[in-house]
Amino acid sequence: MKLISNEELYKVARASSTTFEKVTPEDYSTFAHEFAGLSAADARQLLNDFTNTILAVYLNKVEGVKAKNPWDVEGLIERFYVPFAGLKQNMYVTVKAPINPKFKTLTDGTSVDQQMITKGNVEDIFYTFNDDYQNTITIPDNKIKTAISSEYGMSEIVGGYMQGLKSQYIEWEKTHTANVVNEMLNSVSHPVKDSQKINVAMSADVTRDELKTLVAAVNNAVEAQELETTSAFNIASFPKLVSKSDLVFVTLPGLKNTLKTQLLESAFNKEELNMDIKPVVVPNFGGLVPSSDGTLANKLYPVYDAQGRPTGEYTTDAAGTTAYDGEVKYYNPNENVIGFIAEKGLIFIDEQNPYVVEPAVHNAAGHYQTFWASKENVGFHYDMYKNLIVIYKTDAE
């Protein structure tokens, strides 16, 4: 997070707010000195204006959070901003095979009906928003007052709080993205076809030969999508030809580093372990269920507070009567998935509103101010018309 001095922020605050500029001296040191002698009401108003203006600066000018959704790299996710609609429409058109050229057979006195009808197959799918986000953070007055006396205090306090809020939003988006992937991999209504599945033998301690087999399987699958127009590689059975530049290999932590290590150990045969497409490393493929022993039979139920936040505690029954204090393990429905080859844009997020942080009115009795982070109407989806090839792990012999 980039730190900015109070003096720099003060200059931006005055330049950004005519009202704030009118009631404050040009020099920050004079402002800080005079602030100590102001009445409680006047000090509160100035403090409120200064804090809110700095908040706007951080949201619009300063990149406070460098972390991002790990799924949102290499074009795997597409984002669509639909501010005035309650849904997103995708259209897919299949053009029929070419005809015999009519111009070759024309003779004197003949003609071609250039208005002849050829109906392509047009398919529409409408996607709706399926989630909303909101979070809050409260900043006590004494934190802001302390920050004013420190050179980088406002940057550290306001920036730190905003960074925390944004980090929570990223975690929320990451979890929802992973759960969409889990739904895609395990859908009953729109299942992954057999032609989209590849089985590769892999042991707990991956061997070089197993890695070579995996890389060869990925490269062969990529080549197949480039060479022939086929409907075999997407759930919608839509015929298409895809360039390898539009494909990525999505996998879990460890495999990419293992491949890299093996490449370093065999510099003279790098081509054996080189994938033709870029890898995207994600934490999991979603669908994780908390459990006392890692099975669905003994799943645990999260506990929520009055505002709907998970507390980190679990119970062994849905009624919440029996608290669980042992180790939490997770049932993983995608434990046998090594990774998948995805056409870019396979996952998409449609957004009606931007992520915003807004301050509530200062609480005079409690001497604090609460900030609300919100994002209303967000849709997390996967595109059945995009190519997908899933690589499953089988036990090595």
pLDDT value for 265: 53
45 Cβ contact partners less than 8 Å away, ≥ 6 residues apart = none
Per DSSP, the three-state class of 8 is helix
205 Cβ contact partners less than 8 Å away, ≥ 6 residues apart = none
| C-alpha–C-alpha distance, residues 226 and 275, integer Å | 15
Average pLDDT over residues 278-304: 95
- Beta-strand relationship, 278-281 and 247-251: parallel
C-alpha closest to that of 368 among 162, 154, 147, 140? 140
Tokens 């370093």, residue?
Answer: 264
pLDDT value for 231: 94
127 CB neighbour count, 10 Å cutoff: 17
pLDDT value for 123: 74
Distinct helix (H) and strand (E) counts, the chain: 8, 17
163 CB neighbour count, 10 Å cutoff: 17
Q: What's the CA angle centered on 331, arms 328 and 336, to 5 degrees?
A: 140
- Beta-strand relationship, 310-315 and 323-324: antiparallel
Tokens 């429905």, residue?
Answer: 333
pLDDT value for 268: 44
Give residue 324's pLDDT band: very low, low, confident or very high (50, 70, 90).
very high
pLDDT value for 387: 97
pLDDT tens per residue across span 179-202: 999 999 999 999 999 999 999 999
| C-alpha–C-alpha distance, residues 75 and 73, integer Å | 5
pLDDT tens per residue across span 344-378: 999 999 999 888 888 888 888 988 888 898 999 99
Tokens 């009953």, residue?
Answer: 188
pLDDT value for 338: 95
Q: What is the mean pLDDT of the chain?
A: 84
Give residue 323's pLDDT band: very low, low, confident or very high (50, 70, 90).
very high
pLDDT tens per residue across span 234-259: 999 999 999 999 999 999 988 877 77
Burial of 85: CB neighbours in 10 Å, binned 0-12, 13-18, 19+: middle
Residue 29 scores a pLDDT above 90: no
Give residue 148's pLDDT band: very low, low, confident or very high (50, 70, 90).
confident
- Beta-strand relationship, 77-81 and 347-351: parallel
Torsions phi, psi of 317, nearest 5?
A: -135, 150
Helices 40-60 and 28-37, packing angle to 10 deg = 140
pTM of the model as a whole:
0.82
* Position 289, amino acid: V
Alpha helices in the chain (DSSP H): 6-16, 18-22, 28-37, 40-60, 141-148, 153-185, 208-227, 255-265
Distance of alpha carbon 166 from the chain centroid:
13
In the chain, the N- to C-terminal Cα span, in Å, equals 50
| C-alpha–C-alpha distance, residues 394 and 275, integer Å | 21
pLDDT value for 88: 75
pLDDT value for 275: 85
pLDDT value for 37: 64
Average pLDDT over residues 104-111: 85
Q: According to the per-residue pLDDT averaged within each range, which of 20-29, 137-146, 205-214 is highest?
A: 205-214
CB 214 within 8 A of CB 249: no
